[in-house]
Structure 1
Amino acid sequence: MRFLLDAGVPVSVGKVLQSAAHEVIYYHEVLAEKAADILVAEIAIKNDAILVAIDKDMRKIGDRYGRHPRLAKLDLLQLCCSEVSAAKRVDHALDLIESEWNFKMKKLPRRFWFEVNSQYLKTLR
């Protein structure tokens, strides 16, 4: 799996994903500081990467433009927890995240949409 970490996502989340043999693209490697959310989403799509976001704005972009042709293929891992607990929550949820990705890949052209909250995990199929 390939992930693009949005601005604000702790580097520790990327380290967790890399330790599980996943490819991680860090925001600063491909985007200028304060890039528009829509551009971040488009870069994730062009890199065949799951966008990892911690801010609520990105969820709104996905909801609002999810049916828009430019963003119809946006895959999103939304972190709805504190930055401090984000890496630990992702580490605990990783088996389920991978399982949901495998499910999505069998059911193309389905979007991957997974939320990691401080209290629960949520997938939208």
Structure 2
Amino acid sequence: MTGKHGSFRVLLDAGVPVSVSDIFLANHHTVIFYDQVLMEQADDRLVCATALANQAVLVVIDRDFNQLAKRYGVTPQGDRYDELSIIRLGCNEVLASKRLAQAMSLIGVEWSYALEKKARRMWVDIGPHFIRTNR
């Protein structure tokens, strides 16, 4: 999963602006676009499974954090996707790439931390006025 510069793969979920990919590419990460590996309106479970199969961090843009957490297994009873790393952009499309750029150093630290143990995953939540990690 790692490459030069501690790089990783990301799978951009539907709706994530193309400008977000530019930030990942500029930081030496590999970008997998939704339409390259999934059909339009794919089920969320398939999106998660595709990210896991490609050993990629799932990047989503979704304002409904509680629903997202439930879908991707963050709740204590949810372990279906417990190895899925996620970067959630909880801001509008215009701010998404700017906020991501501001968070890249923290994302790098969290990625290194997640790699220390197989049981750890990276979850970074980026909003218009906050950047939060969930461990």
Name the TM-score, length of structure 1 as normaliser: 0.92
1:51 aligns with 2:51: no
- Provide the residue aligned with 1:67 in structure 2: 79
DSSP-derived class of the 1:88 partner: helix
Instruction: Write the distance in 1 (CA, Å) between the matches of 2:130 and 2:33.
Output: 26
- Residue 14 of structure 1 corresponds to which residue in structure 2? 21
- Which portions of structure 1, spanning 4 or more consecutive aligned residues, are displaced by more than 6 angstroms? none
Q: 1:4 aligns with which of 2, 8, 11?
A: 11
Equivalent position SS for 1:34: coil
Give the letter aligned to residue 19 of structure 1: A
User: Is residue 11–residue 56 contact of structure 2 (8 Å, CA) maintained in 1?
Assistant: yes
Cα displacement string for residues 90-119 of structure 1 (whole angstroms, at most 9, x for unaligned residues): 001001001100011013211211101110
For structure 2, which runs of at least 5 residues remain unmatched after alignment? Answer: 1-7
Greater fraction of residues in helix: 1
- Aligned position for 2:4: none
The verdict on how the C-alpha distance between 1:23 and 1:10 changes in structure 2, with shifts beyond 3 A counting, is same
Where structure 1 has 5 or more consecutive residues not aligned to the other structure, the ranges are none
Instruction: State yes or no: 1:34 paired with 2:41.
Output: yes
Asked whether the 8 Å contact 2:70–2:78 carries over to 1, the reply is no
Asked whether the 8 Å contact 1:37–1:58 carries over to 2, the reply is no
Identity of aligned residues (%): 41
Q: TM-score, normalised by structure 2?
A: 0.86
Q: How many residues align?
A: 123
Q: What SS does the aligned partner of 1:95 have?
A: helix
**Aligned match of 1:117:** 127
Tell me, yes or no, if structure 1 residue 79 matches structure 2 residue 86: no
